[in-house]
Structure 1
Amino acid sequence: MYHMTVYDENGNKLYDEPISAQTDEEAKKIGYAWLAKHGHETKPHRIFHTTGRLVSFKPHQFDLKRGKATL
Structure 2
Amino acid sequence: MIMEFNRELDARGLHCPLPILKTKKALADMTSGQVLRVLATDSGSVRDFQAFAKQTGNDLLSQTEENREYVFFMKRK
More helix by share: 2
Larger radius of gyration: 1
- Do they fold alike, i.e. is TM over 0.5? no
Q: Normalising by structure 2, what TM-score?
A: 0.39
More strand by share: 1
